[in-house]
A and B are shown apart, each in its own frame.
Chain A
C-alpha cells in the first residue's frame, strides 16, 4: 500500500478557490450541526424541547444543558481533533496508516492514567489530567528522542516503539492492581464520552482551537511536503520547521482529545480517507474538512451508543462503535482505491 495509491500526494494541481472551500466546508458544518442537534434531542430521557427552553429549572432543561449539550460538544471537540490530526499526520509521515496515536500519545495517556490509578491519585483529580500529562510527556520523549526534525520516520518509529513499551508497563501495573480497578481502567481505555463540566470543555476548546489553527496554517506547506523533503525545500518550504510545527500541533491536539475520552480508534483514519476520496488531497481543505467531518462522525457514533442502551442496559464504549463502523469502511476504501472492487 503506497501513499500514491491512497491519494496522499498532491500530484495533480488542485484548484483551491475560496468559493469552493466555503461551499464544501459549509456543507460539512451543516452535517456536523445536524448530528449535534440529533444528539441533543434524542436519548434515554424523553426530552421536551419546549419545556426545556421555557423553564431553565425544569428537569428537561437540566438534561439538555447539563448532560446532552456538554456531551455533544465533547464529542465534536474530540472527533475534530482526531480527524484533523489524522489527516495532517498521514500527509506529513506519507503513510496512509498513520493514525493520531502513532506518535506515542495513546501509550503515554494510557500509562499516565494507569499509574495515577495504581498510586491512588484519581481521588485527587480525574483521569483527564493524568492522561494529558502522560500524553504530553510521551510526545516530548518521542519528538525529542526521535530526531523528529531530520526524518519523518524517526518520530513514527519512536512512537510505535513507545506505545509497545507503554503497553508492557501497563500490563505490569495491571497485574499489581485489584481486578475491580483493572475493570475501571479497561473501560476508560476502550474510549468513552462522558459528562464533562463546562470549564473543562472550555479549556479543551482553547487547546483544540490553537492546535488545529496551527495545522491549518501549515496545511499549504504540508501539501508540498508530500512531494518529498528535497522537492519541498527546492520550492522554498522550511522543511524542518514545518514538520516540527505539525508534529507539535497534532500531538497536542490528540493529547487533549485522549485526556477527555480515552482511546477512540478509527476516527482519525477513516474520516480523512473518506474526505480525501471526495475532496482530493489538498490539506488546506482536508484539515478543516476533517475537523468538521470528524465531529459529525463521532457525535453520530456516540448517539448510536446512547440509543443502544435499551438493548444492552449499558452504553457500549463509543470506541467500540467507531471501530465496528470504521473497520469495514476502511477495507471497502482500500478495495476501491486498489481497483479491486
Chain B
C-alpha cells in the first residue's frame, strides 16, 4: 500500500460524510405522490412551499410549523420509526440521507415504500431538491419557480454586495464547543453572496468544531450568532480579538433550514452584514 493510499483516509477525517447525489429507493411511484411523509423540517417546508401541504400525512418530531401541528410524528433524523412511517401508507417518503438513518430508510424501501433521498448540504442541493420534489408531486412548475426565485435572489444580493467592501465574518452554530460554518456548505455560500469573507474557511467541514484561538487570530469584524443556546457566548465575547467584532444574531431559524426558507435567510444575512445606513450617512 502506498503512502498516498494510507493518507487518503486521514484526509477524510473530519470531512462531512458524502451524502451522495439525489437518489430514489424502493419502487418507482406510479404517478404524482398523494401521501407524503417528510423526515426533516426543511423538506416539510419544501412541500408546504410547493402548495402541497394537504398531501403530508406524517412529519419528523422536530417539525414546528403550525400547518403540520396535527400530523403524526414518525421519529427523528437518525431514528425514524420504520413502522410509524409504513403504517401511514405513504406513496413517497422524503429523506435527508445520512449514515445514521441509512438502515431504517433502506428498510422502508424494502417494504415497498418509495423513498426520495435529498442531500441538503449546498445551495445546489437545495435547488435540485426543489425541482425534484416539485416533479414528484406533479408541481414541476412550482418547483422550478422556487428554484428560480432563490437563484434570482442570490444574483441580486451578489450584485449589491460587489459594490461593498467585503466583511470578515464568522457564523457560529454553537458555542459549547465552538461550532462554525466552515467551507463548502450552504451557509458558507450565502456568506459569500452577501459579501462576507468566511474567516473559518480553513475549518475541516461545512459544520465544524473550531478552535477559539483560531477565531481570535482571524479577527472577524462580524460575528453572526446562529446558536440555539447562548452557552459560553458571554465568555467568548469578552475575549480580545472577538470583543472588537460586531456581534449580531439571526432573527429566526430561516438560515438553518436548507430549503425555501434560505431565500428569507439570505435577506436576513444581508441585513446583518450590510445594515441599511441611516439616511444622513447614505451615499448617493
Please list the residues of chain A having a beta carbon within 8 angstroms of any beta carbon in chain B.
43-46, 59, 62-63, 66-68, 117-123, 126, 175-181, 183-184, 187-188, 192, 194-196, 306, 309, 313-315
Contact = CB atoms under 8 A, between A and B. Distances in A.
A278 B173 CA distance: 54
A306 B83 contact: yes
A45 B9 CA distance: 42
A313 B82 contact: no
Nearest to A312: B61
Nearest to B84: A44
A129 B277 CA distance: 59
B98 interface: yes
A117 B98 CA distance: 11
Contact of B14 (A121, A176, A314): A176
Interface residues of A, dominant DSSP: helix
Contact of B9 (A119, A178, A194): A119
Which 4 A-B pairs rank lowest in CB-CB distance, beginning with the nearest?
A184-B100, A313-B61, A313-B73, A45-B87
A179 B20 CA distance: 19
A178 B207 contact: yes
Interface residues of B, number: 43
B75 interface: yes
Interface of B: 9-10, 12-18, 20, 61, 73-76, 78-79, 81-84, 86-87, 89, 98-100, 102-104, 107, 110-112, 173-174, 177, 179, 204-205, 207-209
A310 to B, nearest CB: 9
A68 to B, nearest CB: 8
Contact of A178 (B16, B61, B81): B16
A314 B101 CA distance: 13
Nearest to B102: A126
A273 to B, nearest CB: 31
Contacts, number: 114
A332 B74 CA distance: 37
A52 B266 CA distance: 51
B83 A43 contact: yes
24 contacts: A43-B83, A44-B83, A44-B84, A45-B84, A67-B82, A67-B83, A67-B111, A118-B14, A119-B12, A120-B12, A175-B209, A176-B14, A176-B209, A178-B14, A178-B208, A180-B98, A180-B207, A181-B16, A195-B82, A309-B81, A313-B61, A313-B73, A314-B79, A314-B81
A184 to B, nearest CB: 4
A124 B2 CA distance: 21
B18 A123 contact: yes
A117 B107 CA distance: 21
Given A66-B111, A187-B78, A195-B82, A179 B209 contact: yes
Contacts of A176: 13-14, 204, 209
Given A309-B75, A314-B75, 11 more contacts: A44-B87, A45-B87, A59-B89, A66-B110, A118-B13, A119-B10, A120-B12, A121-B9, A177-B209, A178-B205, A187-B79
Contacts of B61: 313-314
Given A66-B107, A119-B9, A178-B207, A46 B81 contact: no
A207 to B, nearest CB: 20
A195 B99 CA distance: 14
A66 B112 CA distance: 10
Nearest to A180: B207
B208 A120 contact: no
A195 B107 contact: yes
B98 A184 contact: yes
Contacts of B13: 118-119, 176
A63 B102 contact: no
A317 B100 CA distance: 14
A313 B84 CA distance: 10
B71 to A, nearest CB: 11
A171 B9 CA distance: 19
Contacts of A59: 86, 89, 111-112
A51 to B, nearest CB: 14
Contacts of B12: 119-120
B111 A63 contact: yes
Which of A46, A67, A314 has most chain B Cβ within 10 Å? A314
A25 B27 CA distance: 45
A175 B73 CA distance: 32
A178 to B, nearest CB: 5
Contact of B76 (A44, A62, A314): A314
Contacts of B84: 44-45, 309
A181 B174 contact: no
A74 B10 CA distance: 34
A138 to B, nearest CB: 20
